[in-house]
Amino acid sequence: MIPVAEPSLGDEELENVIEAVKSGWISSKGKFIPEFEENFAKYCNCKYGVATSNGTTALHLALTALGISKGDEVIVPDLTFIATANAVTYCNAKPIFVDSHPEYWGIDPEKIEEKITKNTKAIIPVHLYGHPCNMDPIMDIAEDYELYVIEDVAEAHGAEYKGKKVGSFGDISCFSFYGNKIITTGEGGMCITNNKELAEKMRVLRDHGMNPNKKFWHDVIGFNYRMTNMQAAVGLAQLQKLDEFIEKRRQIAKWYEDGLEEFAKEGKITLHPEMSWAKCVYWMYSILINRDKFGITRDELMKKLEENGIETRPFFYPIHVMPPYKNNEGFPVAEEVARKGINLPSGVGLTK
């Protein structure tokens, strides 16, 4: 079976982990954590990194540090992994969903303004399946309405918008290092920011709200959202391969494009987009199946591929259709893209 995704781990990760274990620093102190934080933040052209236990806790930590709380509303795309919305809910705030852009499937900036109310505090653009959001109009809206921007970069490490790395636009940007992400630490995440005060606040909140200068004194209610030194050891080795991984992912995308070109020309499928302003990192090489011309449905195609040893995944469901967030407003683009979309095998171990 050719898997949809698999981690690429080598001797470098192993050597670092052995060093962490032999040193005895296996919990959330040890040299690999600050090294990973500093180097990863720097890679994204940001000043500060705060490593976390996973991408979901990174989002919750960022929202909490920005003071998002009861009664607040946060704009999120309707088409994303559920954790984006859940992190807002954990703050007792309300996620407000916005439809997808038809060309690149991420949040449509033209549909954001109509959802803003006096309670709106922040926007979370999600760089879906490795493709950046259209950041200029999003940042303009945020400035006009004095909203925070928290980028959800869980699927797009190293992607670029107009030549600038995603994750460097928002007040805080959140990453995941889950096993199938662009780089992995097993489980893990990170918040990055250029704001020193926010970084310090997140460090305190990550560690039970403990005062860094007064042991066991807690000024606020925090969490245990720390990353371990063993995870950071893996992350540091992965980070050194990130550019290589991105090049391989772009190579795989090219193979798919060349191979599927005819189907796309005939309108049977829609290929994974890359807008003129974007450098996509193809977390999941994705296509839309246009049933009328293709002849069979998306689900029938997935079944046939499985019979032939090729694993695929359907797109995320639009969040508004699921029980915790059920909502009858129309999100026609997200609904259509979700119904037609599949992720094809995209791991960097793939051969032509």
Ligand X SMILES: *Cc1c(COP(=O)(O)O)cnc(C)c1O
Contact positions vs ligand X (CB under 6 A): 54-56, 80-81, 83-84, 126, 152, 154-155, 176, 178, 189
CB of residue 217 to ligand X, shortest distance in Å: 30
**What is the chain's Cα-based Rg?**
20
Residues across the chain: 352
Closer Cβ to ligand X, 176 or 229, answer by number = 176
Pair 331, 318: CB distance under 8 Å? yes
How far is the CA of 313 from the CAs of 146, 153, 265, 316, in angstroms?
38, 20, 24, 9
For ligand X, the nearest residue by Cβ is 55
Closer Cβ to ligand X, 106 or 345, answer by number = 106
CB of residue 152 to ligand X, shortest distance in Å: 5
Closer Cβ to ligand X, 225 or 294, answer by number = 225
CB of residue 106 to ligand X, shortest distance in Å: 10
- CA atoms of 289 and 286, how far apart (whole Å): 10
- CA atoms of 348 and 248, how far apart (whole Å): 6
Q: With both helix axes pointing from N to C terminus, report the angle between 55-65 and 196-206 in degrees, rounded to the nearest 10.
A: 120
CB of residue 216 to ligand X, shortest distance in Å: 29
CA angle 282, 283, 289 (to 5 degrees): 70
Closer Cβ to ligand X, 41 or 182, answer by number = 182
Return the amino acid letter for 135: M
CB of residue 69 to ligand X, shortest distance in Å: 21
- CA atoms of 45 and 138, how far apart (whole Å): 19
Closer Cβ to ligand X, 210 or 227, answer by number = 227
Q: Which residue has the tokens 């052995």?
A: 18
Closer Cβ to ligand X, 301 or 333, answer by number = 333
Closer Cβ to ligand X, 187 or 268, answer by number = 187
CB of residue 247 to ligand X, shortest distance in Å: 22
What DSSP character marks residue 272? P
Q: Which residues contact 144 (CB under 8 A, 6 or more apart)?
A: none
CB of residue 183 to ligand X, shortest distance in Å: 12
Helix (H) or strand (E) holding 51: strand 48-52
The token duo for 313 is 């995944």
